[in-house]
Amino acid sequence: MSWQSFMQAQLAQRRQNSVWRQRICVEHNSGRKLQVDGQHYLNFSGNDYLGLSRHPKVIEAWQQGAAQYGTGSGGSGHVTGFSLAHQQLENTLSEWLGYPRALLFISGFAANQAVITALMSQGDRILADKLSHASILEASMLSNANLRRFTHNSPSSLEKLLAHPTEGKTLIITEGVFSMDGDCAPLIELQQLAGQHNVWLMVDDAHGIGVRGREGRGSCDVHGIKPELLIVTFGKAFGLSGAAVLCDETTADYFIQTARHLIYSTSMPPAQAVALSAALQQIRAADESREQLKQHIEYFRKNSQFRDMQLADSQMAIQPVIVGDNEISLQLSDYLRQKGLWVQAIRPPTVPPGSARLRITLSAAHYQQDIDQLLEALNGFTIK
């Protein structure tokens, strides 16, 4: 079979199964609203939970950072790409989250890949929640460690896996808030199991940081735990992009020596680090925005009266509406777009087969009237 024949067959299969993906050019994005092909839509698909992507002080900080440092870092952090702006952000993050060290990465995907592939190798064991992010599962397979997946949010399932000893190292991995279901991990129980079996716990809190806990410190703060490895990303509540790994001194030194994403990737622009420091200041003082987001979530859930669809059990900004069928999820997304609402359909393999959904995300930047418009459209939709 030729390369072209192979790809054409694969693409045809995706279209047939209604799992075809496509990028859409957004002409303008204010956070609350999008403009596509000249049309304006209320945006219920973003992860800008606190509306910080358009915050004047964050924008001003990036501009000032660009004026001071230029537009790029110019190299790897191991060469010339580690600046005072990066160092100050790492120090502030470690102080805020209560860890000796923080290391910056260009993305959450890169952070997960770097940590897992640097720490784990053949003969080791990774025990990951079954619904862990693709970056976690892919890195686990690349590491050559033995990957076992425990039942989603099930400490008892994890305990059964831990009962079988292994000669190598063991790393338990979960998310603080799961990106497709919006539910939260039982972190206290997972931390207890890790301690009982003398293994490490890693928590990816991409969707919890900024919106949960004291000053937005995230899911681990809510539960009063401190995993050996905490991953926080800046593409959600921070309103920017990038990520950081929080850990102890020895582990940070080890990553600096071995984490290939740190060694061989160009660092994030220093101006971005300046903007992230400004965003962190806003997050720490954003109790009012977090309360506004909480009220939006409660209001949406209280007034949801869907036909033939299931609202997932989530108290977070992620509010999945489970449709099941791939094609119907696309029809519902198109129906909402005709109503001026931007809500993308999520289908396998991003979610398990038979669980296609609309992944609705709420933001503190939304108004109640925005949510009313969404609810009116959803409550009036009937699956034919």
SS3 319: strand
Which tokens hold the place of 67? Answer: 């004026």
329 labeled binding residue: no
Angstrom CA distances, 271 to 59, 111, 164, 355, stand at 10, 20, 48, 41
Ligand-binding annotation for 233, yes or no, is yes
* 133 has binding-site annotation: yes
| Contact by Cβ (8 Å): 58, 283 | no
Residue 179 among known ligand-binding residues: yes
Rounded to whole angstroms, the Cα distance separating 200 from 176 reads 15
350 in a labelled binding site: yes
- Ligand-binding site membership of 152 (annotated): no
Which residues are marked as active site? 47, 133, 175, 179, 204, 207, 236
Spatial neighbors of 186 by CB under 8 A, at least 6 apart, are 153, 155
Angle between helices 270-284 and 84-97 (to 10 degrees): 30
- What is the C-alpha separation between 342 and 339, in angstroms, rounded? 9
Residue 105 φ/ψ region, left for φ over 0, alpha for ψ in the -120 to 50 degree band, beta for the rest: beta
* Enclosing H/E stretch for 243: strand 243-247
Annotated binding site for pyridoxal 5'-phosphate: 108-109, 179, 207, 233
Annotated binding site: 21, 108-109, 133, 179, 207, 233, 350
Annotated binding site for substrate: 21, 133, 350
